[in-house]
Structure 1
Amino acid sequence: MKINVLFLILSVVLISCNNDDEATPPADVSVDFTFSHNWEGSVITNSDFDQIQYTNENGEELSISKLDYLISDITFTNTTTGEVYAADDYNFISVRNNTNMNFTPDITIPAGTYAVSFTFGFDDEDNQDGVYQDLNTIGWNVPMMLGGGYHYMRLEGKFIDNTSAEVGYQYHTIRAADNTVTPMILTDTSFEVELGNIQIVEGVGITIEMDVAEWFKNPNTWDLNVLHSMLMPNYNAQIMMSENGRSAFSLGAVVTP
């Protein structure tokens, strides 16, 4: 009898160990992103387009008629192991057209805490001329005379100039190009945005905020009377826009199930 009882206990232990060894590891999870846009905290909706209702840091009243931009290389760095998971896709956002305001990168990762970041625009490795057919179709290309590749952002509207006239502005960001010299000078003006450490679990949703006012004020106070058009071939203006854009993005809500 004692032998039978001992055998039964050993059998239970062995079965338990085998079950532990064969336990299915937790499934990797996807992460959903939502993009939200505001002017100094006031949410920008479709009804706000074409309304001269904003005032920039330089005191100019302005409207927004277009806000299109591209982000790429969403990256998750595990804060415990240091392992890096980088998505290879990108997202083109057209705010007025309500296009791609929600985006799930084509990557899954183990649940855990991650430092989350993304790139505004394309870095030089990805900013290769003509390779993205969907962006070619919508005319997102940059002319070869300015180095080729793709736009990062097109922000357009009207402002009241120093003669009280309504004037259009085109705040277009690209890789900075100085084509007044040979060879042309190209400077990567994309930048990485760090959203901080986020607990990633199944069903998590992350909101990325853009404060459009920041493009006009920090660290460079933008004078639209001087810099409102022909900004793509303006090397120094592209550097300044890149500097200002670094404070435009921030982490909004993190929603977990």
Structure 2
Amino acid sequence: MKKFAIIFLSFFILCCSADNDEPIKQVSVKLNFTHNWGGTALDADDFNKFDFENQESNVLSIERLRYLISRINLIKSNNDTIKFEGYKLVVLDSLGDGLIHELPETISEGTYNLSFTFGFDDNDNISGNYPDLNTANWNVHAEKPGGYHFLQLDGKFKDTTDVQYPYEFHAIKAYDAATDSLKDTSFKLNLGSVSLTNNATIEIKMDLSEWFKNPHAWDLTERSTDLMMNFDAQLDMSDNGKNVFRLGGITQ
């Protein structure tokens, strides 16, 4: 009996060692940015149509949508963080190829929290530093605040007499010319937990209605253009932006 126990124990240890030697699967991850208005899907085919109404009853169209994300992180339960270099300029257009961002390296399968920064923080927001963004005319041309855009959301809205006016909802670093003060209006978002067992595409949903809604109800008849140098408007955009993104489905 004692001999049998020793043989069994040796077999158990051997099996455990074999299991521990199994390689950890490496998986690739893509982010897929989708867009909606209050839950109704939206794409470039919906451009130039007065199909949207914000909380202040402004009827509006969308003609352009571009925004920047950076500092994408996947965070393990023990707070070990995988930091990915680079950034993504998301562009909603008829081609649809500006909506996918593949992370530049594979990772071990497992469960992570997904986070990223909307825009560039002060460490990254350096004028002229990114040739591809310069080519895309994404830089802020004014000497102050300088740096780069975070968001360009453009279109038209109708007043109460049905007259159309343009709006340019552009987010950048906030600058107060009266006090010559600057404020970083980028923000970091933690979208929640993702479980990755195979190569995966993670949906990140932007609800455009939230830009005009929460916590600051936005009346385009009062604030529609010349917002880049409007310090208070930039702060309010940053506040509203924190409610725009949600984690969507995961395809594996």
Both structures adopt the same fold (TM-score exceeding 0.5): yes
Please state whether the residue corresponding to 2:134 is helix, strand or coil.
helix
Contact 1:64 1:158 in 2 (8 A): yes
**Greater mean alpha carbon deviation, residues 246-255 or residues 21-30:** 21-30
1:91 and 2:88 correspond: yes
Deviation for aligned residue 1:129: 1.1
Give me the TM-score of the superposition, normalised by structure 1.
0.88
Q: Is the 8 A contact 1:39 1:211 kept in 2?
A: yes
Residue in structure 1 matching 2:197, options 173, 197, 201: 201
What is the CA-CA distance between 1:21 and the residue it aligns to?
9.4
Cα distance, 1:146 vs. partner? 2.6
**Cα offset, 1:167, TM superposition:** 0.3
Whole-Å separation in 2 of the counterparts to 1:204 and 1:30 = 6
TM-score, reference length from structure 2: 0.90
Q: Distance in 2 between matches of 1:206 and 1:248?
A: 17
Aligned residues: 246
Q: Secondary structure at the match of 2:209?
A: helix
Tell whether 2:59 aligns with 1:82.
no
> Unpaired runs of 5+ in structure 2?
1-6
CA apart distance, 1:22: 9.2
- Decide whether aligned partners of structure 1 residues 188 and 47 sit closer, same or farther in structure 2, where only a CA change above 3 A counts: same
Structure of larger gyration radius:
1
CA separation in 2, counterparts of 1:215 and 1:99?
24
1:3 aligns with none
Q: 1:46 to 1:110 in 2, by over 3 A?
A: same
Do structure 1's residue 113 and structure 2's residue 111 form an aligned pair? yes
User: Which residue of 2 is the match for residue 171 of structure 1?
Assistant: 169
RMSD of aligned residue pairs (Cα, Å): 2.4
Residue identity opposite 1:82 in structure 2: N
Matches within 5 A, 1:1-257: 20=18, 23=21, 25-79=23-77, 81-97=78-94, 98-181=96-179, 184-256=180-252
Q: Residue type of the partner of 2:227? A: L
Following superposition, the deviation at residue 242 of structure 1 comes to 0.5
Q: Share of identical aligned residues, percent?
A: 40
Q: Which runs of no fewer than 5 residues in structure 1 stay unpaired?
A: 1-8
Q: Which residue of 2 aligns with 1:6?
A: none
Write the distance in 2 (CA, Å) between the matches of 1:22 and 1:112. 16
